Amino acid sequence: MFIKEIKIENFRNIENLKMMPSENVNVIFGKNAQGKTNILEAIWLFCGAKSFRTYKEQEFIKLSSEYFKNEMIFFDGERDNNIKISLSQKKEVLYNGVKKKSAAEIAGNFTAVAFIPTDLMFIKGGPEIRRRFLDGVICQIKPSYISLLHKYNKILSQRNALLKDAYYNADIYDLLDVYDREMAKTGTKIINERKNYLYKLNEKASSFYDGISGGKEKMRCFYISSADDENEFYEKLKEKRREDIKQGFSSIGPQRDDIEVLIDEMSAKNYASQGQQRSIILTLKLAEGEIIYKETGKKPIFLLDDVMSELDEYRQDFILNHVKENQVFITCCDISSVLRLFSGKIFEIKEGKIVYQEDK
């Protein structure tokens, strides 16, 4: 799978941009705040996913403009496909000319793996970062998971509202029981999907980490779960009900779960060095790409945002050697740090415009 053409209009600082990328590696360079990451973000949205930078879609629209409109043509191995995403008063998504109810409906058709600087917070950051990592890739592999998350979040929101009311009205307890059963049922499905994916991820990531560490260290991840099955989930909700009412929110569920990463059986969060943290996220992203390909039959696009310059030559080589059969987009400020690594195209970006391009 590879992108053949991208058109971006009134998206962030980009007024009008057209790009015909290489099927191999594409380096997008320029000074800070010129629009490099905006191009990767626009590509990412074609996955049907939320932005990796903001949940406020109105922020996509260029200042002084009233809309944005992005379009992409990509080859999926069998045919060319067209995706259009626009936003003015409302959002519109078209896939091969067919209007979709939401961007979530196109998930799974176009796949990508994004590696951005904030991913380096995966180890030291809060558990929501690690949960978002799991949920994002599962949504690409299994688009129905998006609906499952929406369903669970709706139940969770309604239960939390009832908890606040129950503080003043004990009659709501019976209604809470109904929501607890449904929350346990739906939440257990999410937990099982996460555990299944993490099991596959462990197998791939452990092998990659062995390679990037020269076999000196071993890495593994495991899921820290609220409950192992639906009955246990429901019983824990009942046990925590009075406490939840006092707090006004649900303390049990996949919204509270986490991932633990171990290096040689020691907590990476507590003991991993900066180099080890980078190696962990690199291997997780490479493993993510392998699993997407195995599960969907489509080689994902790799989006590497200003991260290559932070890595030593060995890690740079390790990444490129494992994604060389995929289409890759790399952003950087200093092009000299990546020139030796590829054959493809170079694009210089200035104030949201391509001011120079070259085949390498």
231 and 355, same domain (yes or no):
no
282 and 143, same domain (yes or no):
yes
* Domain total of the chain: 2
287 and 308, same domain (yes or no):
no
**Domain limits for position 208:** 120-296
Whether this prediction's pTM lies above 0.75 is answered by yes
Identify which of 253, 56, 247, 287 has the alpha carbon closest to the alpha carbon of residue 164: 247
157 and 240, same domain (yes or no):
yes
Helices vs strands, H then E, count in the chain = 9, 15
Residue range 301-319: average pLDDT?
Answer: 83
The conformational region for residue 314 under phi > 0 = left, psi -120 to 50 = alpha, else beta, is alpha
Token digits of residue 64: 């002084």
> Among 132-136, 157-161, 162-166, 342-346, which is the least confidently predicted range?
342-346
230 and 326, same domain (yes or no):
no
Domain final residue pick, 248, 269, 296? 296
Domain final residue pick, 296, 316, 346? 296
Angle at 211 between CA 28 and CA 270, to 5 degrees: 85
Q: What is the DSSP letter of 93?
A: E
The three-state secondary structure class of 168 is coil
Q: Residue 138 has what pLDDT?
A: 93
CA 312 from chain center: how many Å? 25
Q: Are 187 and 253 in contact (CB under 8 A)?
A: yes
Cα(59)–Cα(233) distance, integer angstroms: 38
Task: Give pLDDT tens digits for 191-248.
Answer: 999 999 999 999 899 989 988 888 889 999 999 998 989 999 999 999 999 899 999 9
Token digits of residue 351: 């104030």
Task: Give pLDDT tens digits for 143-198.
Answer: 999 999 999 999 999 999 999 888 777 777 788 899 999 999 999 999 999 999 99
Q: Residue 340 has what pLDDT?
A: 67
Q: Which residues pair with 305 in a beta bridge?
A: 331
251 and 305, same domain (yes or no):
no
Residue 148 sits in a domain whose CATH number is: 1.20.1050.90
99 and 126, same domain (yes or no):
no
Q: Residue 342 has what pLDDT?
A: 65
Identify which of 186, 194, 204 has the alpha carbon closest to the alpha carbon of residue 289: 204
Domain final residue pick, 271, 296, 321? 296
189 and 292, same domain (yes or no):
yes
Mean pLDDT computed over every residue of the chain: 90
Question: Does the pLDDT of residue 324 top 90, yes or no?
Answer: no
2 and 76, same domain (yes or no):
yes
101 and 167, same domain (yes or no):
no
Residue 318 sits in a domain whose CATH number is: 3.40.50.300
Residue range 100-113: average pLDDT?
Answer: 91
308 and 284, same domain (yes or no):
no
Which residue did the predictor score with more confidence, 358 or 150? 150
243 and 209, same domain (yes or no):
yes
Token digits of residue 109: 């058709």
Q: Which residues pair with 5 in a beta bridge?
A: 73
